[in-house]
């Protein structure tokens, strides 16, 4: 079920699964694991330690031939066609701009939320599918499509890279109108570039990978690097209020974007021209960040750009425990030498990274043994407690040198040990490859999810401990086999707090309705986060899986104001995806 537009290229996508079709993980007869293809640092070598690590942490035994079978033929409901609308589309647009094909409809009816969407696509069925897919190629196309949707009362759902992990693409079950998925990926051009003022205008359907490649040809970079960089789109970043790994240097998406063009049923929302900053009263543009498809189609955006950095250097550190690592991050965050990216992983994630390494040759194994002797014996690090930080420093040579000198000097204050640029680069780049692990493990009855939050510095350990304790309790309550897995990392640091990114997994063999149970677990863990001082989300967004936490986030009057803005700009609810505060019961 790959995206039709990508089938003939080297960038063919899995479609229903994550990422590129030439990349997956396989277990060999000797129980080592290999990643196919050659896209990532993990590709092409045997990983003998991964399966033993997973079995130890989950307290299970993976049987190579005991595989959870995917559905052979997905159940596809017939399209609910609006005959007049369909005829109008056929009269105005060429056939390659719309589709009723089952495979395309299924592909455009879900994101990448593990339990609510991907598990159902692979192993059961989705409850509701889009009825038609429309491939938008221009602003004029978008305007005409909205006009027809208003005239014939059709529901439109914007679709970018399909990487949402908040059920933002899950379709409302109570929607009786025809639902059209508006695929924006053909609107992927650079409109203009302003070299002197360091800004550029891109169409909203461009992916992060395409955007950076285009800018590099002109000697520039945007620097927004979410984990989904290869697949997610500029419009999707805005719609979810996204964050990237190098936000320290380049900003989160709300600091990167200077102007947004949004087409709504009542007209165009945008500033007349981008400005560095303006005091113009209330700024509607700020409401467009995080709109999650509720208000209209994002057509294009003006973004800040930067000259290509002179130097990019990676680094890595290990600390005896998570507490010392957090204290180090606190000092860095309030210093004058903050790197482009710095992330701290807990012991479970640190050990996971080690499990992804190949078996060393004799001389490398000897050197590894010496390093372990120094770290564990001479320095007294506990392998069950030690944590790691990966660092990316970017900019002018003098700037990077200054950061490097001061960061490593500061690390010594907290017993940190430098572990080299190679480990730092590998740890940073692993982010793009690890997402494939979910689909690999799901076939062996292991399912999991990622979720994130922002918390004040003072609440970090409390939130982490509370989530770990609640997961253990829920695992017992649901009588799940084995043990639960939880790991976390601090992926972004701010003046007042941090983003904590969690990963959890459970073994589901023999469990009835695991997608329901696991969804309930994730929901309960989010409750625990909020009860202990964390936010509803840091960058994944609200979508539908966190809708009922909005009352813990905004005051009633704030929620009502947002609903009234929706009604004013879209009185027919043409953009009826019903994310965030616009839950099904509210319209």
Residues 6+ apart with CB under 8 A from 283: none
Q: What is the dihedral of CA 376, 378, 380, 385, to 10 degrees?
A: -30
Q: Which residues pair with 449 in a beta bridge?
A: 504
Q: Has 314 been annotated as catalytic?
A: no
158 is annotated as contributing to ligand binding = yes
Tell me: pLDDT of 393 over 50: yes
- Amino acid 374: pLDDT: 66
pLDDT per position as a tens digit, 447-475: 999 999 999 999 999 999 999 999 999 99
pLDDT per position as a tens digit, 549-567: 999 999 999 999 999 999 9
Q: What domains, with CATH codes, occur in the chain?
A: 83-186 (3.30.43.10), 190-307 (3.30.465.10), 311-532 (3.40.462.40)
Note the pTM of the prediction, 2 decimals.
0.95
Q: Over pLDDT 90: what percentage of the chain?
A: 88
Active-site annotation holder among 40, 135, 432, 501: 501
Q: Over pLDDT 70: what percentage of the chain?
A: 95
Tell me: pLDDT of 11 over 90: no
- Amino acid 2: pLDDT: 38
Which three-class secondary structure state does DSSP give residue 74? coil
Q: Quick one: pLDDT band at residue 5, thresholds 50, 70, 90? A: very low
- Amino acid 379: pLDDT: 80
pLDDT per position as a tens digit, 152-203: 999 999 999 999 999 999 999 999 999 999 999 999 999 999 999 999 999 9
Tokens encoding 74: 């997905």
298 is annotated as contributing to ligand binding = yes
Q: Which residues pair with 387 in a beta bridge?
A: 319
- Amino acid 380: pLDDT: 81
Among the ranges given (363-377, 404-418, 483-497), the one the predictor scored with the smallest mean pLDDT: 363-377
Tell me: pLDDT of 8 over 50: no
Nearest one of 504, 400, 515 to 452, comparing CA atoms? 504
Residues 6+ apart with CB under 8 A from 174: 584
Q: Mean pLDDT, to the nearest integer, of 268-281?
A: 91
Which three-class secondary structure state does DSSP give residue 102? helix
Which three-class secondary structure state does DSSP give residue 218? coil
Tell me: pLDDT of 367 over 70: no
Q: Quick one: pLDDT band at residue 9, thresholds 50, 70, 90? A: low
Which three-class secondary structure state does DSSP give residue 581? coil
164 is annotated as contributing to ligand binding = yes
232 is annotated as contributing to ligand binding = yes
DSSP state of 43: B
Tell me: pLDDT of 265 over 70: yes
- Amino acid 373: pLDDT: 60
Q: How far is CA 525 from CA 518, 528, 546, in A?
A: 11, 5, 11
C-alpha triplet 470, 471, 474: angle, nearest 5°: 85
- Distance between CA atoms of residues 151 and 22, nearest Å: 43
Length of the chain: 587
- Distance between CA atoms of residues 250 and 335, nearest Å: 17
294 is annotated as contributing to ligand binding = yes
Tokens encoding 521: 């677990």
- Amino acid 109: pLDDT: 97
163 is annotated as contributing to ligand binding = yes
Q: What is the mean pLDDT of the chain?
A: 94
- Distance between CA atoms of residues 451 and 413, nearest Å: 32
- Distance between CA atoms of residues 457 and 440, nearest Å: 35
Residues 6+ apart with CB under 8 A from 331: 410, 413, 414
- Amino acid 7: pLDDT: 40
Residue pair 500/488 in contact (Cβ under 8 Å)? The answer is yes
**In degrees rounded to 5, what are phi and psi of residue 340?**
-60, -40
335 is annotated as contributing to ligand binding = no
- Amino acid 366: pLDDT: 46
Which three-class secondary structure state does DSSP give residue 446? strand
316 is annotated as contributing to ligand binding = no
- Amino acid 3: pLDDT: 41
DSSP state of 436: H
- Interhelix angle 322-333/460-477, rounded to 10 degrees, is 140
- Amino acid 72: pLDDT: 87
pLDDT per position as a tens digit, 86-132: 999 999 999 999 999 999 999 999 999 999 999 999 999 999 999 99
28 is annotated as contributing to ligand binding = no
């Amino acid at each position: 079920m790959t995206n039709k537009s990508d089938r003939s290229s080297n960038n063919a996508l899995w479609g229903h699964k994550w990422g590129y079709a030439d990349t997956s993980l396989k277990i060999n007869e000797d129980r080592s694991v290999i990643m196919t293809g050659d896209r990532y640092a993990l590709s092409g070598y045997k990983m003998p330690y991964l399966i033993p690590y997973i079995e130890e942490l989950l307290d299970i035994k993976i049987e190579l031939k005991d595989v959870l079978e995917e559905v052979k033929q997905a159940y596809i409901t017939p399209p609910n066609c609006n005959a007049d609308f369909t005829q109008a589309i056929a009269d105005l647009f060429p056939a390659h701009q719309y589709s009723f094909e089952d495979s395309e409809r299924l592909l455009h009816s879900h994101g990448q939320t593990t339990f609510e969407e991907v598990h159902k696509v692979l192993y059961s069925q989705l409850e509701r599918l889009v009825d038609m897919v429309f491939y938008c190629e221009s602003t004029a196309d978008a305007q005409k499509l909205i006009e027809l949707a208003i005239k014939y009362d059709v529901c439109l759902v914007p679709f970018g890279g399909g990487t949402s992990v908040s059920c933002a693409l899950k379709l409302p079950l109570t929607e009786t109108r025809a639902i059209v998925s508006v695929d924006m990926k053909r609107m992927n051009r650079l409109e203009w570039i302003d070299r002197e003022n360091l800004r550029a205008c891109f169409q909203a359907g461009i992916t992060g990978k395409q955007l950076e490649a285009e800018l590099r040809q002109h000697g520039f970079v945007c620097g927004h690097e979410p984990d989904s960089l290869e697949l997610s789109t500029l419009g999707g970043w805005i719609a979810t209020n996204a964050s990237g790994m190098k936000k320290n240097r380049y900003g989160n998406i709300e600091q990167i974007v200077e102007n947004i063009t949004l087409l709504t049923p009542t007209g165009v929302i945008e500033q007349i021209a981008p400005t560095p900053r303006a005091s113009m009263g209330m700024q509607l543009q700020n409401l467009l960040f995080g709109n999650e498809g509720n208000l209209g189609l994002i057509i294009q955006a003006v973004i800040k750009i930067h000259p290509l950095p002179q130097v990019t250097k990676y680094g890595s550190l290990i600390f005896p425990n998570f507490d010392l690592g957090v204290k180090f991050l606190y000092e860095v965050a309030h210093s004058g030498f903050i790197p482009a990216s710095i992330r701290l992983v807990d012991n479970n994630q640190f050990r996971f990274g080690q499990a992804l390494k190949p078996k060393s040759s004799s001389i490398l194994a000897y050197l590894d043994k010496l390093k372990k002797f120094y770290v564990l014996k001479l320095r007294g690090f506990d392998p069950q407690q030690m944590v790691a930080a990966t660092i990316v420093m970017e900019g002018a040579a003098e700037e990077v040198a200054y950061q490097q000198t001061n960061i490593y000097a500061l690390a010594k204050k907290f017993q940190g040990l430098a572990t080299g640029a190679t480990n730092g680069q590998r740890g940073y780049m692993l982010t793009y490859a690890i997402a494939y692990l979910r689909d690999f493990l799901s076939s062996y009855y292991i399912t999991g999810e990622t979720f994130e939050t922002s918390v004040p510095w003072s609440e970090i350990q409390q939130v982490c401990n509370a989530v770990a304790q609640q997961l253990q309790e829920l695992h017992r309550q649901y009588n799940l086999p084995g043990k639960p897995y939880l790991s976390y990392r601090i992926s972004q640091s701010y003046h007042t707090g941090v983003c904590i990114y969690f990963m959890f997994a459970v073994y589901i063999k023999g469990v009835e309705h695991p997608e329901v149970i696991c969804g309930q677990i994730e929901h309960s863990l989010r409750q625990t986060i909020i009860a202990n001082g964390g936010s509803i989300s840091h960058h994944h967004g609200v979508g539908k899986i966190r809708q009922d936490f909005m009352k813990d986030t905004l005051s009633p009057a704030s929620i009502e104001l947002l609903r009234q803005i929706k009604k004013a700009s879209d009185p027919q609810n043409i953009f009826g995806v019903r994310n965030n505060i616009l839950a099904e019961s509210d319209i």
